[in-house]
């Protein structure tokens, strides 16, 4: 699969040794795994840089329209293997390392994940960047260079413990600092006569990472901003003996780019969050305008040459900031500046949860961004004047509404699945959709097949290539050519062998890393995503409790052995979600030690979920848990990765689950639960949870076990509030959906016992998942939103 035509092994060996000596400063006899990994990374980076420069020059020569993707998160994972695969040098690199007496797997795995995101938002952004490079679309990603990411998760006595990520304690081999590209970003101060005089400022310093696409034909740029002090080190304070004060300006400035999503349960946390959002958005817009003016000059051409996409509401300040840059600083008339900004900006909505559409208090917003508040009021007034009688308010009742601002200042607003888009029209943006009926469009998410099949699952990728050739890597919909092979017993046998080998690898890794022995013959039932009530990890663990109780009550029954695997982080201030993590671990401690059931049921929580862990888990998974409350998940991309890698879904009709079920076939999907409309109606019925509990003895017994302290005997009341939440405040309908979830899980058990039927179902999930490629998604954005085109 990975040919070596671009660089043979001898050339690769020479490149690695060159960088080991002259970049890392080591000789082969004293080099560590880290040294070899850095040498290999620089050898590969050299080749990517050549592609990068060529791509940039071609974009300038063509005068092409550029796409700029603004996102608070870019979960790019490890870049070494990504580069090796897309340059098609993996075989050459592995052979070279082998000749040096090294374990290629250990060297490549030595790279830490870049701590630049948390969940699906960041993984989507990373897939989009890779797809734009694979398609040859001139593009930049813009974000923040977080020193410590979200946090490193450890589990201590069952509880989530948060430690700083340390990925930048060692040099990041893939980035280039750009000292010549720095912008002064202001905060506070006063707005007078259409001008802003900030009271404080920091410097945004640029760091560039090239992102290479498939076949090494094109590379784009991920530019990340790091906050620096305007003043730097205060020598006068130092000489007066105030050593802490001397460093304070730099430390204060760096706070902005230290941590992803600072805890915003405090006022100071909210202020930092807003500063972060303005910091990276303002720096990015200044950079975009600098590049545009140097190349084109005429600001009237901005929408024709620039497409800026806002990934969620985090960069929503882009609307008024772009107006400020055009109107205040460049003299464009206000109405023209608003029209120009709107024609340039697109907004991707990722949530139907009203609380997730950011809202800032007027006091905080006006104190930090006084001129922007004035501009927002003008934008708001102009919109209301254009649509008399509308109740839409961007600034209202002491609150600045960033969802409404994003919508009003974008020429297109897209949902990320068909269902999400339709629900968005009917719920969070119902009136805005009525006022602007052509503005909302749908762009169902996708994932890059290079990372999420070719790279992470080489066994399955090799089987696919052996049957239909390698064209599927660049055109994932060619997987449909495998339809006829699903009835071939030899193909199914090879498919099952690939899955089983992946499961053995995962079981060995979990045993070695976490000391938990797993039988690869058990069903690997996996739910990996951030912890949130709407994602319903508590429904999953409640079903595990009920299953454990049923097994104990009838130990001689023909139970299907399964291990329930969880992974994901809870926000530091989200205490209920953190209690769910603790409950999962407490249930695991009891269930895994039970001699009556432990050979047929185990529960595992794997700490510090990240891209690299996902790459281990997804190829080895038998069952994909996509069990969010219908109407709450915008899309999901994990669901696509699981299906692509042959894990049938148990799920609700929520987000992209709807489209996955349509594509893979209803017979290859385990459906349960209420629809979004039924869920909305159920919430309105008083006592709906109590009635559901009373109607299902299994559910009642499972909740009672949680309430009574069966899994926390040293503290019997530990989970009483969890039980009470389900029984009395069940907004996310855990109780109402439990009975049907149990039914679907027993259907899963029955099919899994028929190994041929299960393998066929899994194979159909792979074969029919070709539509869920981020390449297809990007082509949709190009056509429907950006008005741009590839250059290859």
Q: How far apart are CA 515 and CA 529, in angstroms?
A: 23
Give the count of beta carbons closer than 10 Å to the beta carbon of residue 104: 19
Instruction: Count CA within 13 A, CB hemisphere, residue 88.
Output: 13
* 86 alpha carbon, distance to own chain's centre: 21
Catalytic pick among 2, 66, 529, 532: 529
Longest pairwise C-alpha distance within the chain: 82
Token pair belonging to 542: 């409640």
- Told to judge if 637 belongs to the known catalytic residues of this protein, a careful annotator would answer yes
- Told to judge if 641 belongs to the known catalytic residues of this protein, a careful annotator would answer yes
DSSP notation for 644-700: HTT--EEE-S-TTHHHHHHHH-GGGSEE-S--HHHHHHHHTSTTHHHHHHHH-HHHH
Q: How far apart are CA 436 and CA 3, in angstroms?
A: 51
Q: How far apart are CA 778 and CA 179, in angstroms?
A: 32
Token pair belonging to 358: 């950011």
* 200 alpha carbon, distance to own chain's centre: 33
Residue 196 contacts residue 371 (beta carbons within 8 Å): yes
Give the count of beta carbons closer than 10 Å to the beta carbon of residue 154: 12
DSSP notation for 440-492: EEE----B-HIIIIIIT-HHHHHHHHHHH-GGGGT-GGGGGGGGGGGG-HHHH
What is the length of the chain?
Answer: 792
Judged by DSSP in three states, 183 sits in strand
DSSP notation for 405-443: HHHHT-SEEEESSHHHHHHHHHTTTHHHHHHSTTTEEE-
**SS3 readout for 713-745:** CCCCCCCHHHHHHHHHCCCCCHHHHHHHHHHHH
Catalytic pick among 172, 436, 535, 768: 535
H or E stretch at 567: strand 562-567
Q: How far apart are CA 341 and CA 327, in angstroms?
A: 10
Catalytic pick among 47, 395, 641, 707: 641
Judged by DSSP in three states, 308 sits in strand
Catalytic pick among 425, 451, 530, 600: 530
Judged by DSSP in three states, 67 sits in strand
Q: How far apart are CA 617 and CA 645, in angstroms?
A: 10
Q: Show Cβ contacts of residue 241 under 8 Å, excluding neighbours closer than 6 positions.
A: none
Catalytic pick among 350, 371, 395, 562: 350
Judged by DSSP in three states, 558 sits in coil
Q: Residue 478 phi/psi, 5° resolution?
A: -70, -10
DSSP conformational letter for 522: S
Residue 43 contacts residue 18 (beta carbons within 8 Å): yes
Judged by DSSP in three states, 133 sits in helix
Residue 310 contacts residue 70 (beta carbons within 8 Å): yes
- Told to judge if 530 belongs to the known catalytic residues of this protein, a careful annotator would answer yes
Q: Residue 52 phi/psi, 5° resolution?
A: -60, -50
Q: Residue 254 phi/psi, 5° resolution?
A: -65, -20
Q: Which residues pair with 624 in a beta bridge?
A: 526, 649
Q: How far apart are CA 563 and CA 540, in angstroms?
A: 12
* 586 alpha carbon, distance to own chain's centre: 28
- Told to judge if 485 belongs to the known catalytic residues of this protein, a careful annotator would answer no
Task: Catalogue the active-site residues.
Answer: 350, 529-530, 535, 637, 641
């Amino acid at each position: 699969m990975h040919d070596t035509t671009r660089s043979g092994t001898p050339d690769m060996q020479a490149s690695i040794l060159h960088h080991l000596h002259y970049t890392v400063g080591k000789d082969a006899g004293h080099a560590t795994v880290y040294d070899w990994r850095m040498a290999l990374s620089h050898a590969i980076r050299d080749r990517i840089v050549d592609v990068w420069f060529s791509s940039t020059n071609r974009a300038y020569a063509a005068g092409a329209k550029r796409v700029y993707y603004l996102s608070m998160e870019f979960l790019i994972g490890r870049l070494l293997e990504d580069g090796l695969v897309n340059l098609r040098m993996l075989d050459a690199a592995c052979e070279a390392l082998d000749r040096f007496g090294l374990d290629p797997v250990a060297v490549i795995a030595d790279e830490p994940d870049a701590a630049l995101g948390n969940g699906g938002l960041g993984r989507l952004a990373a897939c989009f960047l890779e797809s734009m490079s694979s398609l040859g679309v001139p593009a930049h990603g813009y974000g923040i260079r977080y020193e410590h990411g979200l946090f490193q998760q450890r589990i201590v006595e069952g509880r989530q413990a948060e430690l700083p990520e340390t990925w930048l304690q060692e040099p990041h081999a893939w980035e280039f600092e750009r000292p010549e590209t720095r912008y002064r970003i202001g905060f506070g101060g006063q707005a007078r006569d259409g001008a802003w005089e900030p009271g404080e400022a920091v410097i945004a310093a640029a760091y560039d990472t090239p992102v290479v696409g498939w076949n090494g034909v094109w590379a784009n740029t991920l530019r990340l901003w790091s906050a620096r002090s305007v003043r730097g080190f205060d020598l006068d304070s130092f000489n007066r003996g105030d050593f802490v004060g001397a460093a304070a300006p730099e430390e204060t400035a760096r706070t902005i780019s230290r941590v992803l999503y600072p805890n915003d349960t405090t006022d100071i946390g909210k202020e930092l969050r807003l500063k972060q959002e303005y910091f990276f958005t303002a720096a990015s817009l200044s950079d975009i305008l600098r590049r545009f003016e140097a190349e084109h000059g005429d600001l009237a051409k901005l929408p024709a040459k620039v497409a800026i996409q806002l990934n969620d509401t985090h960069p929503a300040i882009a609307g008024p900031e772009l107006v400020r840059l055009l109107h205040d600083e460049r003299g464009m008339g206000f109405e023209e500046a608003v029209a120009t900004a709107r024609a340039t900006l697109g907004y991707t909505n990722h949530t139907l949860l009203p609380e997730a559409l950011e809202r800032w208090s007027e006091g905080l917003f006006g104190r930090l961004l006084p001129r922007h508040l004035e501009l927002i009021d003008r934008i708001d007034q102009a919109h209301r004047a254009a649509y008399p009688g509308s109740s839409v308010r961007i600034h209202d009742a002491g609150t600045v509404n960033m969802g409404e601002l994003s919508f009003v200042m974008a020429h297109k607003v897209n949902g990320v699945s068909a269902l999400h888009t339709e629900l968005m029209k009917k719920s969070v943006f119902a009136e805005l959709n009525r006022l602007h009926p052509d503005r909302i469009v749908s762009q169902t998410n996708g994932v890059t097949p290079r990372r999420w099949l070719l790279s992470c699952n080489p066994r399955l990728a090799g089987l696919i290539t052996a049957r239909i050739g390698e064209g599927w890597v660049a055109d994932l919909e060619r997987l449909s050519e495998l339809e006829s092979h699903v009835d071939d017993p030899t193909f199914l046998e090879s498919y099952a062998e690939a899955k089983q080998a992946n499961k053995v690898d995962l079981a060995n890794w979990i045993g070695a890393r976490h000391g938990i022995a797993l039988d690869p013959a058990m069903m690997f039932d996996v739910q990996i995503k951030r912890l949130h009530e709407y994602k319903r990890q508590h429904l999953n663990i409640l079903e595990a409790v009920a299953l454990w109780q049923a097994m104990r009550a009838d130990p001689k029954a023909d139970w299907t052995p399964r291990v329930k695997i969880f992974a994901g982080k809870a926000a530091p201030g989200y205490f209920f979600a953190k209690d769910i993590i603790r409950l999962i671990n407490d249930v695991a401690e009891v269930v895994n030690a039970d001699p009556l059931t432990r050979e047929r049921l185990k529960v595992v929580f794997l700490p510090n979920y990240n891209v690299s862990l996902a790459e281990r888990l997804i190829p080895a998974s038998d069952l994909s848990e996509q069990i969010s409350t219908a109407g709450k998940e915008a899309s999901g991309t994990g669901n696509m990765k699981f299906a692509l890698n042959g894990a049938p879904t148990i799920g609700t009709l929520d987000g992209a689950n709807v489209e996955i079920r349509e594509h893979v076939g209803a017979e290859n999907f385990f459906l349960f639960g209420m629809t979004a409309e039924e869920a909305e109606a159920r919430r309105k019925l008083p006592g709906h949870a109590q009635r559901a509990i009373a109607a299902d003895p299994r559910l009642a017994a499972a909740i009672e076990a949680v309430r009574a302290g069966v899994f926390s005997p040293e503290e019997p009341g530990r989970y009483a509030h969890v039980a009470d939440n389900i029984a009395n405040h069940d907004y996310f309908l855990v109780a109402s959906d439990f009975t049907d979830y149990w039914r679907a899980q027993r259907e899963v058990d029955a099919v899994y016992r028929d190994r041929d039927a299960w393998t066929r179902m899994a194979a159909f999930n792979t074969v029919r998942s070709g539509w869920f490629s981020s390449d297809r998604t990007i082509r949709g954005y190009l056509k429907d939103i950006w008005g741009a085109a590839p250059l290859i």
